[in-house]
Amino acid sequence: MAILLVGSVQLSRACDICGCGVGSYYLGILPDFNKRFVGLRYQHKLLTTHLGPMGNRTPISADEAYESLEWWGAWNFDTRWRAMAILPYNFNTRHVRGSGQTGYKNGVGDLALMGFYKVFEQVGGTRDNKLLIHSLWAGIGVKAPTGKYDEGERASVSQDAPNNFQLGTASTDFLVNLAYDIRLMDLGLNTNVSYKVNTENRHEYRYGNKLTVNALLYYKFNIKNQVRIAPNAGVMYETQTKDVIYGRYDVAQSGGNSLTGVAGVEVNAGRVSFGGNYQAPLSQDLADGRAKAGDRWLAHVSFSF
C-alpha cells in the first residue's frame, strides 16, 4: 500500500473534476458494524470554472457548488463478503458573476453498487504484548446511469469548456477498490485506493478515468466501553485523465490532479455511528489551470442492525 501511495503521488457527482462532479464515491473510514448498516451522508463541494489562462477570473468565470444527500448501506455475508450501495440525490448550483445568472439542477444521481472480498485479516501481538490487527479488502463495482444527463448542457459549451453541470454521466462505469487497515492497539492507519473506469455515453462523451488514493491516521478513544471516538487526519490524492468527445477529441478544460488535506472524527455509540470530515486543497492542477477546487466537507449518520 505504501508503494501504491508513493507511485500515485477515496468511492465522492457532474464531471468529477477531482471530486467535484458526478460519479465520485468517497469511502473513507466505514462505520463500525458487524452484519449490516444503512445511513445518510451529506457532501458539499466547491469548484470555480472558466478561469483565464493564468488562473485569473474572467467575466464568464463560474462559482459552482455540488451538494449531495446520499443513502448508503452495506451488508456482510459471513466473514469474507460485503455488498455496498450508494444512491445520491444531487443539488447543483452555478453562479456566473459577470452576467449575474444563477442556474440550479436537482435530482437523483448515479447509483453505485459494489462487492468486496476480504483477502485477509490477521490478529496478533508484538513483542511487548500489544495487539496488532490488519486487514485487506478488495472490491469491484458498477455505476449505473440513473441520474439525468442534459445533452443540451453539453452542446451549449465548446470542446474547450468543461461538461460539469450534470446530475449523471449517462454512462455505465466500473469501480475497483482496495482498502487496507492496520491498527496497533488504538492507533491505526486506514488506506483506500480506488480506480474508476468510465465508458462513452450515448451522446459520444466519455468522462476521464480517475484514480483516488487516501490515507487517514486515526486514534480510538474508548469511553466506558460504550462510546468510541476516533479523530483522524490524513491526505487524499486524486488524478483524472481528460474527457473525450466524439471518440477522439480531448476536452481541454477537464482532468487534472489535486492533493487534499483531510481532518475529521468518527463516533460510535452502540448501533449508531456518526461523524464527518473537512477537506482543504493543498495543491492542485485542474483543467490546465482553468478550474480551481475549493474546500469540501462531509457529514454522515448510520445505524447498524
Q: Which domain holds residue 72?
A: 2-304
How many angstroms separate the Cα of 15 from the Cα of each of 55, 75, 149, 185, 221? 19, 29, 11, 41, 39
CATH value at residue 49: 2.40.128.130
Question: How many domains is the chain partitioned into structurally?
Answer: 1
251 — phi, psi (to 5°)?
-90, 115
Query: Cα separation of 287 and 256, whole Å?
Result: 6
Tell me the pTM: 0.88
d(CA 128, CA 118): 28
CA atoms within 13 A on the CB side of 72: 25
As a whole number of angstroms, the distance between CA 144 and CA 133 comes to 35
Q: Over the stretch 244-297, which tens digit does the pLDDT of each residue have?
A: 998 888 888 888 999 999 999 999 999 999 999 999 999 999 988 888 999 999
How large is the C-alpha radius of gyration of the chain? 20
Q: Is the dihedral of CA 48, 49, 50, 51 positive or negative?
A: positive
pLDDT of residue 150: 84
pLDDT along the chain (305 residues), means of 10: 36 54 68 89 92 85 92 93 95 89 92 96 87 95 92 63 81 95 95 94 92 95 92 95 90 89 95 95 91 93 94
Residues whose CB is less than 8 angstroms from the CB of residue 46 and which lie 6 or more positions away in sequence, other chains included: 20, 63, 64, 65, 66, 293, 294, 295, 296
Q: What is the pLDDT of residue 21?
A: 61
Q: Which three cell numbers stand for residue 230?
A: 476516533
